[in-house]
Amino acid sequence: MRTMSFFKYVLFSFVVMSFLSACVDHVAEEEELPNKDVAFEYSIVDESYVIDYYVGAQIKFVNTSYLSGTPTWDFDLGTEDEIVKGTINSDTVVIKYKVSGLRAVKLTVNNKTIEQPIFISDIKPILLLDSIEGALCEVLTTEVSFSVDLPNPENLDVVYSWTFPENTTDEKGDTITKFEGENPGKVRFGNVGSQFVKLNVTLGGRALEEVSLNVQVAYNKEVPTLYYAEKGGNIMALKLASDAPKDMKIEPFDMGVKSGQHPLNIVFADSSLYILDCGLQFTYVNDVDGVMGDGRIIVMSKDGSVVETMLSNVGGAAFDDPFYGYADKQNLYVGGRLTGFYKIGLKERNVTYSLNDYPYYVQNNTLGYYNKGTGYASMNACIGKVGDVWYWCKTNDGKGIIRFTDSDILKETAKDTDPKPAAGIALPGMDVKSFVYDKNSGAFYFALFGVARDGVYRCASIAELDNVSATNLVNYQCKTADDRALTLITEAGKGEGSSGEFIGICQMAIDESTGDVYFGLRSGDASMKSGVYRYNATSRVLESVIEGVNVYGVAINQNPSKLF
């Protein structure tokens, strides 16, 4: 019994000591605590500017070191900066920096030094649009006013110079382009679109950086809205106002949302714009590991206030990047570079593309055209539906528009015995990049690229489309009022691709209220500028809408509105 009792005592002692040892091991020794030997704090003296460290503001530095001794400061001063209070050996020093930039402030006490970076911001006016009753700035009628927030810690003299866009009027109704003074009063805008008000401020004789304010000016009638993606720029929007007064300009709205690298298609559905960006690498690449993809689908609310990621293919296979798209009421159908297209619900957000999660809705080899008009490398272009028939543009290894219904899609690779879809191939052998169907008139429009047959074409009906051939193609070609056809860019290095990939007109959209067809033209004719064009359904001619911009995808919000 004594042996057992002794064993219990030893065991208990071992446990207790182990517990105490564990507790002691986790207590940091004094020298492991944060070192406060040398430290300092700083703050703004000027009560009006307690957050930002502006040029000209008085900044107080206080030595809070544990070490005793004479402090030595290095404030990284420039030739124009100054010490307002104290010296470099004082415990408290007030500094006024006169030049913006990053400063490395050092404090040394008893040969120990601490360094901390401080960014001094240049003074920049903040230009604000005052609240508008109804929150809508309407062309010609809505009066707007502005406020300026200007940090001025030294109370220097200020000179304000305003610049207003064309067709702006003041409270008296007089045209105003320039105004000198802090408050220009209320103004009205005479043009629709993004109207940029600019403000230049001189503070104490020094010119500050120019600031501008984008005022989104609505039309005074409800009309559809065209969206387009600028190369290297932003998503833009344009009111499709066909009855505007001659002296009123309908200018685009800058939505402030990046277009992406190659947004070949944009699709408007469910009150949102779906931006299909196939990424920087969209031409052929030998992506053997399937990791060179960099495309994504971005969803932008119709007014640009909300931007979300729908799908990303970053790090996936390059050919699976989102190139072309079409939407119905529930799904977005997305085509990659070659193989096929899949569908994704319009409400999906923040997903990563995988073939398992989003299997092909249809593939080149699951239609009866396979090896009988199309092949494995049949390159994709625009997709869409006319009634219950799919139209799928192809620009390589079987060119034209392949047509089929859902019942034509096979469950396995097509065999020689499988019949071709009854709808047949339209425009066989032709490079069809994009198309649009006018369900009201029945007209069918398409864009071609290729030697001697570039441009936009119109068939009065779907049935007429089947009569188009290389020999009579010219009869369907759309031209300008001076009888000129369009030339699409196909020059190597400028068309952003090679055979089958050139970006000349990569998407078309129809204004259902007028029948007008809109598209972005990348022109190959130096005498005809690139930009946004339309086919005027009334005059039956091609017209330039906006010149001097390179455009990828286009889409129309058919719901009439004054703004978006």
Percentage of the chain lying above the pLDDT 70 cut: 93
The torsion angles phi and psi of 307, rounded to 5 degrees, stand at -130, 125
Q: Which residue has the tokens 């990563």?
A: 352
Instruction: Show Cβ contacts of residue 376 under 8 Å, excluding neighbours closer than 6 positions.
Output: 338, 364, 365, 397
193-209 pLDDT, tens digit each: 999 999 999 999 999 99
User: If you average pLDDT over every residue of the chain, what do you get?
Assistant: 92
C-alpha to C-alpha distances, 279 to 212, 233, 259, 356, nearest whole angstrom: 31, 14, 11, 22
Q: Which residue has the tokens 């080149």?
A: 364
DSSP string, 50-99: SS--BTT-EEEEEE--SS-S--EEE----TT-EEEES-TTSSEEEEE--S
Between 1 and 451, whose confidence is greater?
A: 451
Give the pLDDT mean for 416-424.
97
Q: Specify which residues 198 forms β-bridges with.
A: 163, 212
Q: Which residue has the tokens 């309407």?
A: 138
The torsion angles phi and psi of 505, rounded to 5 degrees, stand at -130, 100
How far apart CA 286 and CA 102 sit, in angstroms, is 45
Q: 3-state SS of 397-436?
A: CCCEEEEECHHHCCCCCCCCCCCCCCCCEECCCCCEEEEE
- For residue 494, what pLDDT is reported? 72
Q: Both tokens of residue 388?
A: 């219950």
How far apart CA 232 and CA 505 sit, in angstroms, is 17
User: Which residues in 288-410 belong to E strands, given as ranges?
Assistant: 296-301, 307-312, 324-327, 331-335, 340-345, 351-352, 360-363, 380-386, 389-394, 400-404
How far apart CA 492 and CA 494 sit, in angstroms, is 6
Burial letters 258-275, b for 16+ CB under 10 A, else e: bbbbbbbbbbbbeebbbb
Of the pLDDT bands very low, low, confident and very high (cuts 50, 70, 90), residue 408 is very high
Is 430 within 8 Å of 470 (Cβ atoms)? Answer: yes
3-class SS shares of the chain: helix, strand, coil, % to 5: 10, 40, 50
How far apart CA 443 and CA 280 sit, in angstroms, is 35
Of the pLDDT bands very low, low, confident and very high (cuts 50, 70, 90), residue 490 is confident
Instruction: Show Cβ contacts of residue 170 under 8 Å, excluding neighbours closer than 6 positions.
Output: 176, 184, 185, 186, 187
Question: Which CATH topology does 126-217 take?
Answer: Immunoglobulin-like (2.60.40)
The torsion angles phi and psi of 232, rounded to 5 degrees, stand at 65, 20
How far apart CA 337 and CA 318 sit, in angstroms, is 8
Residue 231 gets which letter from DSSP?
T
Of the pLDDT bands very low, low, confident and very high (cuts 50, 70, 90), residue 493 is low
Same fold, 33-120 and 126-217: yes
- For residue 489, what pLDDT is reported? 87
Q: Which helix (H) or strand (E) holds 457?
A: strand 455-459
**Antiparallel, parallel or unpaired: β 188-189 and 206-207:** unpaired
Between 6 and 174, whose confidence is greater?
A: 174
User: What residue ranges do the domains of the chain occupy?
Assistant: 33-120, 126-217
How far apart CA 400 and CA 422 sit, in angstroms, is 16
Is 111 within 8 Å of 70 (Cβ atoms)? Answer: no
CA-derived radius of gyration, the chain: 33
Q: 3-state SS of 375-395?
A: CCCCCEEEEEEECCEEEEEEC
- One-letter amino acid for residue 229 of the chain: A
- For residue 82, what pLDDT is reported? 96
Give the pLDDT mean for 235-246.
95
Q: Both tokens of residue 401?
A: 């528009």
Give the pLDDT mean for 469-489.
94
Q: Which helix (H) or strand (E) holds 119?
A: strand 112-120
- For residue 30, what pLDDT is reported? 38
Which among 525, 534, 528, 530 is positioned nearest to 552, based on CA atoms? 530
282-329 pLDDT, tens digit each: 899 999 999 999 999 999 999 999 999 999 999 999 999 999 999 999
CA 318 to chain centre: 21
CB atoms within 10 A of CB 414: 20
249-280 pLDDT, tens digit each: 999 999 999 999 999 999 999 999 999 999 99
Residue 31 gets which letter from DSSP?
G
How far apart CA 462 and CA 467 sit, in angstroms, is 10
Choosing among 3.30.160, 3.30.70, 1.10.3210, 2.60.40, the CATH entry for 33-120 is 2.60.40
6-65 pLDDT, tens digit each: 333 333 343 333 433 434 444 333 333 446 899 999 999 877 666 679 999 999 999 999
- For residue 48, what pLDDT is reported? 64
425-463 pLDDT, tens digit each: 999 999 999 999 999 999 999 999 876 788 999 999 999
Query: Sign of torsion, CA 137 140 141 144?
Result: positive
The torsion angles phi and psi of 429, rounded to 5 degrees, stand at 80, 0
- Whether 350 shows a pLDDT value over 80: the answer reads yes
- One-letter amino acid for residue 346 of the chain: L
58-114 pLDDT, tens digit each: 999 999 999 999 999 999 999 999 999 999 999 999 999 999 999 999 999 999 999
